[in-house]
Amino acid sequence: MADRAKFIAGVTAGLGRTEVLSPTSITETAGFEDAATAKANAVKASIDALERSKDLADQMAEEAAKAGWKVHRASNSEDAVNYVARICIEKKATSVLRSNHDAIDQIGVEAAITNAGATLETTEHHGENSQAQIEKSKSKAFSADIGITGVDYAIAETGTVVLHPRSGLSRLVSLAPPTHIAVLRPGEVLDSLDELFAMERNDFMSGELAGSMNLISGPSKTADIEGTTVTGIHGPLEVHLVILADE
């Protein structure tokens, strides 16, 4: 405890502050507002996303395109399905892996993908699965030609898709296949990271925060020390964003 107190005192001094918090005064929710305020902020963010869904979807499309997403504004579910099928045909896909997001069920991609000559499977990567089942799920993700997911949130300000890996959604569905298709519904687009963090804080305060979060802003990119950018090294080479119409 003495070492911890000394460490905190050193950090406090380094920040130029005079008040030193004792270790016993620091709780697991330090830095977070109370639960009621967190919930109010999250509700406000959700309402704003619904009321401004069209404008936020327009901004999302623009910023996502800048970030490297291939954006398709679907006029209806049939248009969205046809676009997905066209990608499967262009990529000569034989294996497609999907998440269990409701957005994919909503547009119904099964028949179109099968007609395009590919098999479609749903990720079965659950935390309670045996190690053998988890390894099998990973193998499917790395052998799939295309991964299809919905989104949990999207950030209009940066063109970013947010996914919470969980039962029925392995993070590998959006990372391992060379092509990733994300299906976005109206009302799922938040204005900025501030609204996302408001949602996350509320989940934290209510004990529902997911174990991890993937923020995807275009295809995978990396650069060496000389600044040469290479695409597709640590994730998909190509990413498609299908934005459904606000019906």
Q: Over range 157-186, report the average pLDDT.
A: 89
Residue range 130-164, pLDDT digits in tens: 667 777 778 888 999 999 999 999 999 999 999 98
Which residues, 6 or more positions from 152, have their beta carbon under 8 angstroms from its beta carbon?
162, 163, 164, 188
Both tokens of residue 101? 């997001």
Which residues have CB under 8 Å from 128's CB, separation 6+?
167
Q: State whether 144 and 163 are in the same domain.
A: yes
What 8-state DSSP symbol labels residue 244?
Answer: -
Cβ within 8 Å of residue 4, ≥6 positions away: 23
> Same structural domain for residues 97 and 198?
yes
Interacting residues of 55 by C-beta distance below 8 A, sequence separation 6+: none
Return the higher-pLDDT residue of 37 and 218. Answer: 37
Q: What share of the chain is helix, strand, coil (3-state, %, to 5)?
A: 40, 20, 40
Q: Are residues 58 and 10 in the same domain?
A: no
Identify any residues that bridge with 88 across adjacent strands, giving them in sequence order: none
pLDDT averaged over the chain?
83
pLDDT the model gives residue 18: 66
Q: Judge if 239 and 148 occupy the same domain.
A: yes
**Same domain membership, residue 18 and residue 131:** no
pTM value? 0.80
- Res. 28: pLDDT tops 50: no
pLDDT at 219 (0 to 100): 76
- Domain co-membership, 211 together with 97: yes
- pLDDT band of 29, cuts 50, 70, 90: very low
Res. 244 pLDDT band, cuts 50 70 90: very high
Q: Is 86 in the same domain as 12?
A: no
The boundaries of the domain holding residue 215 are 37-243
Q: Identify the band that residue 126 occupies on the pLDDT scale cut at 50, 70 and 90.
A: low
Q: What's the structural domain count of the chain? A: 2
Checking if the pLDDT of 19 tops 80, the result is: no
Domain co-membership, 20 together with 43: no
Q: Are 237 and 68 in contact (CB under 8 A)?
A: no
Task: Say if residue 25 is in the same domain as residue 105.
Answer: no
Phi, psi of 193, rounded to the nearest 5 degrees: -65, -25
Same domain, 132 and 237: yes
Q: Which of 12-16, 152-156, 188-192 has the lowest mean pLDDT?
A: 12-16
Instruction: Inform me whether the pLDDT recorded for 125 exceeds 70.
Output: no
Question: What was the pLDDT predicted at 30?
Answer: 44
On whether both 120 and 2 belong to a single domain, the answer is no
Please report which confidence band the pLDDT of residue 15 belongs to, taking 50, 70 and 90 as the band edges.
low
| Position 85, amino acid | A
How big is the chain by its Cα radius of gyration, in Å?
A: 21
